[in-house]
Structure 1
Amino acid sequence: MVETQTRTGRDETQEERADRMWVELIQEVRVAQTGVQILFGFLLTVVFQQKYASLEHTDKTIYIVTVVLGAAATGALIGPVSLHRLVSGRKVKPQAVEWASRMTFVGLLLLLATMTSSLLLVLRVATHNGAVPWIVACVVAWYAVCWYVIPLWTRRRHTTS
C-alpha cells in the first residue's frame, strides 16, 4: 500500500505536522497565558483597594472594561487547552490546531486591548497628565510592531511557498 498523504518541506505527514504545530502552539500559549493571568489577577484586586472608591467615573469605567477584556483574553488563551482535552483521540488534530491557533490569535488581540486599557488607567491615575493618551498610543504602536508588523513582514519576506 502506497502512502498518499501530502508531504511538506519537512518531510512529515499531516499528522506529524499537526503534532509538531500543536506542541509549538502550546509553548506559545504558555507565555501569553502567564502574562494575561498575572495581569488579570492583579486587576481583580484593584476594586478592593481603598483608592478605588475615589476614582473618577471615567477611570472606573476604564477599569471595568479592562477587567472584562482581561477575562475574555484569559478565556481565549486557555481555550486551546480545553479544545485539545475535548477532542483528544478523535483524529481531528489538524482541525484542532487550526481552531486553537485562531483562539490564540484572538486571545493576543484581547491581551493587547487589556494591556492598552490597563496602561491607560494606571497612567491616568498616576499622572493626571494630558500626554497619557500619546504615551499609551506609542506603547500600543510598539506592541503592534513587535507582535504583528515584524512577524507579518518576516512571513512575507521569507515564505517560499
Structure 2
Amino acid sequence: MIDQGPVGGDEERGETALQRVDRNWLELLQELRVLQTGIQILTGFLLTLPFQSRFSDLDAFQVTVYLVLVVLSALITALLLSTVIMHRTFFRLRIKETLVRNADRILRMTMLLVALVLVGTTGLIFDIVLNRTAGTITAGGLFVLILALWVVVPEMLKRRSVRAANPDAAPGMR
C-alpha cells in the first residue's frame, strides 16, 4: 500500500512531495487493477449460479449465504469504481494527495470485503458439494490463512525491517 508517513518529499528516493504522491497513486492503481480483475471474475461466477440446474436444490441457509455474497461482490465493485469517480471529480483540482489518502482507505476496506467474499464463496462451494461441516471447516481455515497472509506476515516483516533499519534503537523505541 501507499507510504503512511507525513506528506513531503522522500530524500532517499530524490522525490518531491508531488512526485511521491504521483508514485503512490500509480502504486494504488496497480493494486486496484489486480483487485478489480479478480473481483469481476468472482462476481461473474456468483451471478451465473442461479442459472444452474442444482441452484433450486440449495437450502435456505445456502441461498442466504449466496445472496450475501452477491451483495458483498456488488459492494466491492462499487467501492473500486468509487476511486475512479473520485479521480474524475478531483481531476485538475491539484488535490491528488486527498485522492491518494481516500483511495487507500477505500482499498483497505475493499480488501476486508474481498476476504469475506473469498471465505464465504469457498465455504458455500464446500457446503454444496460435500456438506455443511466441510463448508464451515474450509471457510474457517481459509479465514485463518488470509488473516495470516494479509495481516500477521506483513506485520512481522514490517517489524523486522524496522529493527534492521534501526538496530541501535531500544525495543520500546522501534
Task: Tell me the equivalent position of 1:82.
Answer: 85
**Residue 57 (str. 1) matches residue 57 (str. 2):** no
Runs of at least 5 residues in structure 1 that lack an aligned partner in the other structure: none
SS in 2 for 1:12: coil
Task: Tell me the equivalent position of 1:104.
Answer: 107
Q: Give % identity.
A: 33
Task: Tell me the equivalent position of 1:32.
Answer: 35
- How many residues of Structure 1 are paired with residues of Structure 2 in the alignment? 157
C-alpha distance 80-157 of structure 1, shift in aligned 2 (>3 A): farther
TM-score between both structures, scaled by the size of structure 1: 0.89
Runs of at least 5 residues in structure 2 that lack an aligned partner in the other structure: 1-6, 166-173
Distance 2:92 2:27 in 1: 19
CA contact (8 A) 2:90 2:99 kept: yes
- How many Å apart are 1:129 and its aligned residue? 5.1
- Correspondent of 1:7 among 6, 9, 14: 9
Distance 1:6 1:71 in 2: 36
SS in 1 for 2:144: helix
SS in 2 for 1:90: coil
Task: Tell me the equivalent position of 2:3.
Answer: none
C-alpha distance 131-55 of structure 1, shift in aligned 2 (>3 A): closer
Structure with more contact order per residue of length (Cα contacts < 8 Å, sep ≥ 6)? 1
Distance 1:112 1:12 in 2: 34
Amino acid at match of 1:7: G
**Residue 138 (str. 1) matches residue 141 (str. 2):** yes
- Correspondent of 2:71 among 68, 71, 84: 68
Cα RMSD between the aligned structures? Answer: 1.8
Distance 1:131 1:47 in 2: 22
TM-score between both structures, scaled by the size of structure 2: 0.83
